[in-house]
Amino acid sequence: MVEGPTGGVETAEEPSARTSPLVALAGAGGAVAIAMVLGWRLTMVLPPAYVVSVFLVAVLTAAAIFGLWTGIVTAVASFFAFDFFFVEPTYTFDVADPREVFALGVFLVAAVLTGGLAGRLREVADSARRRADTLALLHDFAGRISATTDRDEIRALAVRRIAACIEGSCALFDRRALDGGPIEAWPEPPTPSEADRRAVDRVFETGRPTAGGSPRWSFRPLRTADGIVAVIGLCPGRGEGFFATEYEPALSALIDQAATALERARLAEERSQAEESAERERLRSALLSSISHDLRTPLATILGSVTSLRELGDRMEPADRADLLAAIEEETDRLSRFVADLLAMTRLEAGLDARRDWIDAGDVVRAAAEHLRRVRSDHPVRLDVAGAIVPVRGDATLLEQVIFNLGDNAAKASAPGAPIDLVVARDGAAMRIDVIDRGRGLSADEIRRL
Cβ 286 vs Cβ 449: under 8 Å: yes
220 DSSP β-pair partners = 232
Question: Which range, 111-115, 119-123, 304-308, 384-388, has the best average confidence (pLDDT)?
Answer: 304-308
CA distance 336 to 50: 113
Domain residue spans in the chain?
2-137, 151-271, 284-349, 357-449
pTM of the shown model:
0.50
Q: Letter for the amino acid at 362?
A: G
Is it the case that residue 421 has pLDDT exceeding 80? Answer: yes
Distance CA 202, CA 154 (A): 24
Query: What are the tens digits of pLDDT across the range 265-298?
Result: 888 888 988 998 888 788 777 767 766 766 777 7
Contacts of 7 (CB under 8 A, 6+ apart): none
Neighbours of 146 (CB within 10 A): 12
Q: Which fold has domain 357-449?
A: Heat Shock Protein 90 (3.30.565)
pLDDT at residue 4 is higher than 60: no
Segment 162-180, tens digit of pLDDT: 888 887 888 888 877 666 6
- Which residues does 25 contact at the CB level (< 8 Å), separation at least 6? 70, 73
Q: Is the pLDDT of residue 7 over 60?
A: no
Find, among 290, 392, 409, 397, the residue nearest to 352 by Cα.
Answer: 397
Name the architecture of domain 151-271: 2-Layer Sandwich (3.30)
Residue 109's Cβ-side half-sphere holds a number of Cα atoms within 13 Å equal to 5
The CATH code of domain 284-349 reads: 1.10.287.130
pLDDT at residue 239 greater than cutoff 60: no
Residue 395 scores a pLDDT above 60: yes
Q: How many CA atoms lie within 13 A of 434 on its CB side?
A: 11
**Rounded Cα–Cα distance for residues 302 and 339 (Å):** 16
pLDDT at residue number 349: 63
For residue 11, pLDDT beyond 60? no
- 23: CB partners within 8 A, 6+ apart: 66
Helix or strand or coil: residue 242?
Answer: helix
Burial class (CB in 10 A: 0-12, 13-18, 19+), 10: buried
What is the rounded average pLDDT for all residues in the chain? 78
Pick 342 or 385 by higher pLDDT: 385
